[in-house]
Amino acid sequence: MPIILIGGGSRSGKSTYALARAREIGERLGFIATAEAHDEEMEQRIARHREDRPADFTTIEEPLNLCDALIGCEGRFDAVVIDCLTLWLSNLMLTECSDLEGAFTELIHTSRKSGFSILLVTNEVGCGVVPDTELGRRFRDAAGRLNQLVAGAACEVHWTVFGIPVRVK
């Protein structure tokens, strides 16, 4: 089934586009949220997202084990939105995952085997300034690698800017 990557900067409209695109694919819709609250502001942000999330999507909150979550979606959905890959990456890095490349490869392998469309939302973090911390630079580099691998596996890649999606692949 198709893998669709939707990227862009913060507040570019990528999540809104992913939801709309998923609705074009089918009626049984899943949403895997990867956010994890590590502070009060993030708790409030997650609460707002829960309230704003459309009722036609079944939400699964999974900050780390995306492959297990996808396997659990088998037979339940026509399309699943994963929002977002860069939060998933930061969660992996904060748990000091020793094999990020392996986690990326496993996600792509599991996505390719699924019986439903998967729409992966990601942030483009390489267009800004070079982070001033070692962790920031490692994150930026890992996000770039993750986005390239998923884009290579995807049948469609969309870039969103100012709320406008542009098909790249």
* Interstrand relation of 156-161 and 164-167 (parallel, antiparallel or unpaired): antiparallel
Catalytic residue flag (residue 49) = yes
User: What DSSP character marks residue 27?
Assistant: S
If you search the block for the tokens 């399309």, which residue do you land on? 79
CA distance 113 to 108: 9
Distances in whole angstroms, Cα of residue 20 to Cα of each of 16, 23, 61, 87, 94: 6, 5, 20, 21, 31
Catalytic positions: 49
